[in-house]
Amino acid sequence: MAANGTVLLIEDEQEIADLLRLYFERDGFRLVHSPTGEEGLDRLERGDIRAALLDIGLPGIDGIEVCRRIRGDSDIPIIMLTARDTEIDKIVGLEIGADDYVTKPFSPRELVARVKAVLRRSEERPIAVQTAEIAGFVIDSGRRQVACPGGETIRPTAREFDLLWYLSRHTGLALSRGQILEAVWGYDYFGETRTVDVHIRQLRKKLPDLPIETVWGFGYRLGEN
């Protein structure tokens, strides 16, 4: 059994699958390959997948729809692979629950590093349960949920909660997009600040009264009011 577990690659190009298998196996992962979205969704039902690499341009069900279906049942990390370097593809992927995206052609080493990072962040849990109370919202790190002032409970996605928890641990401080990306996504800043912006927008939609402030030209701050 692979020491680092199993990664599912849903990708219709066999050459990419063969190349990535070499790199992932060298780093202690098992890479299983599904050439279509339908096969990938079937493979996920076994329950042994730690992370999914998902091509957007799949035959049949495209990667956006596959991502949406995965997120309906699972919080496993998803990294989108796209040959279309357009903002709309990236934004849509992130808004429906992808944790990250990589544009083709990509470095296999960088992709392995991103998978390690997203797994490390998604599977980390505090040693002791902690809560943070901000503007009447109670952010619960143990249950990974937010209790709203009116009594409603919101359960953000895994990545959204990681971002919110990081902001809550630095209440009142202006945090740059690069700081947030490195701390929450767990890898060095590659210039993809759109990832942070999209997740902030999703948190604002779910928690509109939480004081997440934009620090123009820099980043974000979670206020105390």
113 lies in the same domain as 11 = yes
- State the CB neighbour count (10 A cutoff) for residue 42: 11
Q: Which of 22-26, 100-104, 196-200 has the highest mean pLDDT?
A: 22-26
Where is the domain boundary, 91, 123, 155?
Answer: 123
Residue numbers of the domain that contains 209 = 131-222
d(CA 100, CA 183): 14
Within a domain: 190: yes
What is the mean predicted confidence (pLDDT) over 51-62? Answer: 91
pTM exceeds 0.75 for this model: no
Q: Is the pLDDT of residue 152 over 90?
A: yes
Within a domain: 158: yes
d(CA 70, CA 171): 33
d(CA 156, CA 176): 22
Higher pLDDT, 63 or 128: 63
d(CA 191, CA 204): 23
Within a domain: 202: yes
For position 199, which CATH number holds?
A: 1.10.10.10
Within a domain: 1: no
78 lies in the same domain as 14 = yes
Higher pLDDT, 213 or 159: 213
Within a domain: 61: yes
22 lies in the same domain as 105 = yes
For position 106, which CATH number holds?
A: 3.40.50.2300
Q: Is the pLDDT of residue 143 over 60?
A: yes
Q: Which of 17-31, 102-116, 117-131 has the highest mean pLDDT?
A: 17-31
Sign of CA dihedral 206, 57, 2, 118: negative
Structural domain count of the chain: 2
Contact 58, 9 (CB under 8 A): no
What is the mean predicted confidence (pLDDT) over 205-214? Answer: 94
What is the mean predicted confidence (pLDDT) over 162-166? Answer: 92
78 lies in the same domain as 143 = no
143 lies in the same domain as 216 = yes
Average pLDDT, the chain: 86
Give the pLDDT band (50/70/90) at residue 211: very high
Burial 182-213 (b: 16+ CB within 10 A, else e): ebbbbbeeeebeebbbbbbebbeebbeebebe
169 lies in the same domain as 194 = yes
Within a domain: 209: yes
101 lies in the same domain as 147 = no
Q: Is the pLDDT of residue 212 over 80?
A: yes
- State the CB neighbour count (10 A cutoff) for residue 215: 13
Higher pLDDT, 141 or 29: 29
